[in-house]
Structure 1
Amino acid sequence: MRTIKFLFALAITTVAKAQWGGNGGASAGQRLSVGGGQNQHKGVFDGFSYEIWLDNTGGSGSMTLGKGATFKAEWSAAVNRGNFLARRGLDFGSTKKATAYEYIGLDYEASYRQTASASGNSRLCVYGWFQNRGVQGVPLVEYYIIEDWVDWVPDAQGKMVTIDGAQYKIFQMDHTGPTINGGNETFKQYFSVRQQKRTSGHITVSDHFKAWSNQGWGIGNLYEVALNAEGWQSSGVADVPKLDVYTTKQGSAPRTTTTTTRTTTRTTTKTLPTTNKKCSAKITAQGYKCCSDPNCVVYYTDEDGTWGVENNQWCGCGVEACSGKITAQGYKCCSDPKCVVYYTDDDGKWGVENNEWCGCGL
């Protein structure tokens, strides 16, 4: 999802795109640095979002992008009010309520350590936001599912719940600071704090959303789900060689058994007609066939096209009327075949119909 779509609605300008940062030509092994006047990098690479951020109070940090959602972060922010974070995951774009997603899972392995502190702390957690988008009675929420920490962890009166066989304490706080809406606001923070710390495992993220909802807490539209390494007045290293976020219980679709392998990032339930055995030329050029099923299920979408699976082999689903990267985010193709292109990014060409974003033709 493009953050710009939700911050600026129809104010489509090249200046706004520069503020968001785009993909920035990201590549595996690329090292993004903050400090010395540069305090943020944000974008999408290999199907997963990334963000690295440093408070303007000083210090430095870096994030090295790996394949899929993996990354390595290093920070040196052991200064007064120094604050660093680096995260990767999936953007959901605030299109529907967080509890409306039947299942969201996250698997990870991390080597996480704090190397210095100026009366500070650090944490490894699942992180994101619920965006109220003007819905009355639903607060703007920054949420944390904290798995590991050093020196200090937030705490307040709350309730113990069991999720994935482990005990988590859930509670909420009020906080004032910068938000995804831009500027400073007073907003809610929801916490699930694991009582037995760890640096690897599976998290059923959607069960935490349900546990918070069961307490009567307001649940807004889901903005993102990401694994976050964060340091406050500290220095440290977080190496995350395994990370996957997915929205079906079985996780990623099966991998091909041919020489060329593809790692999936998410599964959808959308079907796409494959007429006259036509599919993306970029897919067939790699030696894959078009799916024989006239209504094949799209399991994966990337820059090459839309992918299905037959006989445990990848195949190409039909060619869409607009970019598969756009429809994979839940947007529709514009009904007008000659739609006006208001915005172009790495996902494709964007138009507007009925005050909603849609994909213009290829």
Structure 2
Amino acid sequence: MVAWKSLVCLALATVGAYAADAVEKREEPPTLVARAGTPSSTGTHNGFYYSFWTDGAGDITYTNGAGGSYSVTWSGNGNWVGGKGWNPGSARNIGYTADYRPNGNSYLAVYGWTTSPLIEYYVVESFGTYNPSSAASKKGTVSSDGGTYDVLSTQRVNQPSIQGTATFTQFWSVRQSHRTSGTVNMANHFNALEDCWPETSALTTTRIVPTQKLTSAAGKREPVTV
């Protein structure tokens, strides 16, 4: 039996945004707004943990709102991931509402990391032009919260992670019918994760409801409330 530890956040996220360990940590920062784009950062805001990472390409503005809300606008090509959640997290029920209008490749997902073993995970509620399950190995399905999710995994070799450059597994739970509001029962997805890797149990995690975006040219406003 392996005791899991995780550093995770809930956020709207994109494939390719993995450098969560390289961002600055601050306590109770002011609302993040920048004329030429918001710099990468993590911290707490109105009782929630937040994380925002960008590769510096494109023009992305991440704004922390009241409570568990945040919004993102973007234009140009670039990668980013950001949102609000908990650090550390737990197998909680996560309620959310999002005005998610993608034009290009992006995901609306619960996002996080575990350590021991090192796993990056996504519970994808909706996505844009690219289905993240397309390049992953299917492990099965899980029924939760009125829908069916495809359970998949991929392997990342020598890629940035919360522990620096490492080789790790990505776990994907992708909802077949898209939605932009509802409740995500994380216990069901963690159980599916343990079914795929039976040697793991006792999961403790940190999560963010993020928006992740990979290379899209259209600017959209994505207000999300957790």
Tell me, what secondary structure is at the counterpart of 1:112?
A: coil
Contact 1:48 1:89 (C-alpha < 8 Å) held by counterparts: yes
**Distance in 1, Cα, partners of 2:162 & 2:130:** 25
Contact 1:110 1:240 (C-alpha < 8 Å) held by counterparts: yes
Q: Where in structure 1 are there 5+ consecutive unaligned residues?
A: 4-17, 94-100, 133-138, 244-362
Which of these two proteins has the greater Rg computed from alpha carbons?
1
Q: Where in structure 2 are there 5+ consecutive unaligned residues?
A: 1-6, 8-21
| Residue 14 (structure 2) aligns with | none
Matches within 5 A, 1:132-143: 132=116, 139-143=117-121
Contact 1:131 1:222 (C-alpha < 8 Å) held by counterparts: no
Segments of 4+ in structure 1 off by > 6 A? none
Matches within 5 A, 1:10-159: 20-23=24-27, 25-27=28-30, 30-33=31-34, 39-56=39-56, 58-78=57-77, 82-92=78-88, 103-115=91-103, 117=104, 121-132=105-116, 139-155=117-133, 156-159=137-140
Contact 1:169 1:193 (C-alpha < 8 Å) held by counterparts: yes
Contact 1:77 1:232 (C-alpha < 8 Å) held by counterparts: no
| Residue 352 (structure 1) aligns with | none
Counterpart among 196, 204, 212 of residue 215 in structure 1: 196
Aligned AA (1:112): Y
The Cα offsets for residues 78-135 of structure 1, whole Å up to 9 and x where unpaired, read as 2xxx211111100117xxxxxxx5x4110011011224x4xxx111000000011xxx
The Cα shift of 1:39 comes to 4.1
The Cα shift of 1:153 comes to 1.7
Aligned AA (2:75): S
| Residue 186 (structure 2) aligns with | 205
The Cα shift of 1:241 comes to 4.7
The Cα shift of 1:219 comes to 5.2
Tell me, what secondary structure is at the counterpart of 1:190?
A: strand
Output the aligned Cα RMSD: 2.5
The change in CA–CA distance for 1:19 and 1:145 in structure 2 (over 3 A counts) is closer
Contact 2:49 2:87 (C-alpha < 8 Å) held by counterparts: yes
**Distance in 1, Cα, partners of 2:23 & 2:112:** 20
Tell me, what secondary structure is at the counterpart of 1:196?
A: coil
The Cα shift of 1:242 comes to 2.6
The Cα shift of 1:71 comes to 0.6
Task: Please state which structure has a larger fraction of its residues in strand.
Answer: 2
| 2:225 paired with 1:242 | yes
Task: Give the TM-score of the pair, scaled to structure 2.
Answer: 0.79
**Distance in 1, Cα, partners of 2:34 & 2:214:** 17
**Distance in 1, Cα, partners of 2:80 & 2:205:** 20
Aligned residues: percent identity? Answer: 29
Aligned AA (1:42): T
Aligned AA (1:107): G
Aligned AA (2:108): L
Contact 1:34 1:54 (C-alpha < 8 Å) held by counterparts: no
**Distance in 2, Cα, partners of 1:127 & 1:174:** 17
Matches within 5 A, 1:278-357: none
Contact 2:23 2:40 (C-alpha < 8 Å) held by counterparts: no
**Distance in 2, Cα, partners of 1:150 & 1:106:** 22
The Cα offsets for residues 169-224 of structure 1, whole Å up to 9 and x where unpaired, read as 10111013211113x21110011000000111011012100121123354585341
**Distance in 2, Cα, partners of 1:19 & 1:162:** 35
Q: How many residues align?
A: 200
The change in CA–CA distance for 1:31 and 1:216 in structure 2 (over 3 A counts) is closer
**Distance in 1, Cα, partners of 2:168 & 2:114:** 10
**Distance in 2, Cα, partners of 1:237 & 1:224:** 27
| 2:163 paired with 1:181 | yes
Tell me, what secondary structure is at the counterpart of 2:101?
A: strand
Contact 2:24 2:40 (C-alpha < 8 Å) held by counterparts: no
| Residue 290 (structure 1) aligns with | none
- Larger relative contact order (Cα-Cα within 8 Å, sequence gap ≥ 6): 2
The change in CA–CA distance for 1:179 and 1:105 in structure 2 (over 3 A counts) is same
The change in CA–CA distance for 1:40 and 1:195 in structure 2 (over 3 A counts) is same
Tell me, what secondary structure is at the counterpart of 1:197?
A: coil
